[in-house]
Chains A and B, each alone.
Chain A
């Protein structure tokens, strides 16, 4: 299952016609202790590069952008009870939402794992 990354530190897993979205290990480290995650509504249409979710850490609120365009099909209910799951397991149990893939070509603009690793090392 291919995983792609954005330069805003979101990751996206693609399996058939469904994508799962979260934020990266680097992102959670930058944000610090996460106390609340505001997820999009199931059924919402989100657009590549536009606001999709908000992460509240102790110190600030940060936007999470949609890595691609599509419809939100499911959100991670576990984050409601335990937002710190994003700190503990950002790239697995701390996923944010699942979505459809409206324009598969948008994935071509994203980085693969090696590309993202190099990108973070340069920051």
Chain B
């Protein structure tokens, strides 16, 4: 028996420990190398953890992600020269999805941008954070300060019961229920100052909590003592985000993909589509106007055999695309995948085939998310 996957085997790179390393091990996590850290892939099992999150609430340690703070004079103009975001419409307390693009419009990273008083707070992917800091430092004027919050941990509490569990402990100027999707605020948890954003990567209602690293174990214990909450590993994080139709950087998004191909046009804010003035704007605006040769689509596969990243997609004898993420959906009980396919084959309902180990599997272009999002947009 041996694993086909070798991409995350980073044996030659020294691995760092996350603030909750010992906490994960004490709870029986199986640790694997990921993004330069040892991270928990699972505790009791991926399917059980996946289903628990869809029905209750799961606590994810995402402290590998980079938390950055930008500040300085004319901050908005400086950041708009680097990101295709419209900061004139990002108010204090709001968070927005954005993209770090290269000069050709390829995706260097996807990230969240939040408006702090006199500052912008960014959450970037763990595997790309060092490169991102280099890119940002080079692109931003010298009088813009870039702070890497390496003394902060990041926990995500996700699922339909996340709000109930967290509200029992979060104290702030206003109740937690005042936060709607993509809003954030300052709260206290077990006496510690934390920033809570109503956002996540599972398609469920949920929160991302930025907290001091030295309080991470105490707060993780506090939340996991709630009957609705269990710790959830990276394995279920991946199957949950795949069902939610959300891209994973390094797989679905790379410097070789454009955000327009990936259907992320919302990441190019409206004013910026006409004004440009960010890296790759020429290509991006051309693609918005004229369309792209390929599109990122959802695929539902017949049978039970999953198609993984790299599997080729066919229409008859013609190879027309490649799977970028694929697996078995615990919620649907069937294999699902995301793939870039030639745009003429991207319409919902198109019958295609995916090749796995020489076998052709029937697949249908399907709407995403595969499992409906349940974000809290207000009651």
User: Do A8 and B45 touch (CB < 8 A)?
Assistant: no
User: Do A32 and B42 touch (CB < 8 A)?
Assistant: yes
Contact A58/B235 with A32-B46, A64-B1 known, Cβ cut-off 8 Å? yes
Inter-chain contacts of A70 with B (CB < 8 A)? none
User: Do B239 and A58 touch (CB < 8 A)?
Assistant: yes
Give complex CA distance A122, B42 in Å.
22
Give complex CA distance A31, B4 in Å.
12
Which residues 223-239 of B sit at the A interface, judged by CB distance below 8 A? 235, 238-239
Question: Among the interface residues A10, A57, A62, which one has the most CB atoms of the partner chain B within 10 A?
Answer: A57
A84 smallest CB distance to B (angstroms)? 9
User: Do B357 and A8 touch (CB < 8 A)?
Assistant: no
Contact A58/B4 with A32-B235, A33-B45, A36-B304 known, Cβ cut-off 8 Å? no
Inter-chain contacts of A59 with B (CB < 8 A)? 5, 41, 46, 235, 238, 327
Contact A58/B330 with A32-B46, A35-B306, A36-B304 known, Cβ cut-off 8 Å? yes
Give complex CA distance A123, B42 in Å.
19
A1-41 interface mask toward B, CB cutoff 8 Å, 1 = contact, 0 = none? 00000001110000000000001000100111101101000
Partner of A54, one of B5, B46, B335, B357: B357
For residue A92, CB closer than 8 A to chain B, the reply is: no
Inter-chain contacts of A38 with B (CB < 8 A)? 305, 357
B293-310 interface mask toward A, CB cutoff 8 Å, 1 = contact, 0 = none? 000000000001110100
A interface vs B, CB < 8 Å?
Answer: 8-10, 23, 27, 30-33, 35-36, 38, 54-65, 83
User: Do A23 and B1 touch (CB < 8 A)?
Assistant: yes
User: Number of B residues whose C-beta is below 8 Å from A?
Assistant: 23
Q: List 26 A-B contacts (CB under 8 A).
A: A8-B1, A30-B1, A31-B1, A32-B45, A33-B45, A33-B330, A35-B306, A35-B328, A36-B304, A36-B328, A56-B306, A56-B328, A58-B46, A58-B47, A58-B239, A58-B330, A59-B41, A59-B46, A59-B235, A59-B327, A60-B4, A60-B5, A61-B4, A63-B2, A65-B1, A83-B304
Give complex CA distance A10, B2 in Å.
11
Inter-chain contacts of B142 with A (CB < 8 A)? none
B interface vs A, CB < 8 Å?
Answer: 1-5, 41-42, 45-47, 50, 235, 238-239, 304-306, 308, 327-328, 330, 335, 357
Question: Among the interface residues A31, A33, A54, A59, which one has the most CB atoms of the partner chain B within 10 A?
Answer: A59
Inter-chain contacts of A62 with B (CB < 8 A)? 1-4
A44 smallest CB distance to B (angstroms)? 14
Inter-chain contacts of B306 with A (CB < 8 A)? 35-36, 56, 61
Inter-chain contacts of B328 with A (CB < 8 A)? 35-36, 56, 58
B166 smallest CB distance to A (angstroms)? 27
User: Do B1 and A9 touch (CB < 8 A)?
Assistant: yes
Give complex CA distance A40, B1 in Å.
15
Contact A33/B47 with A58-B239, A62-B2, A63-B1 known, Cβ cut-off 8 Å? yes
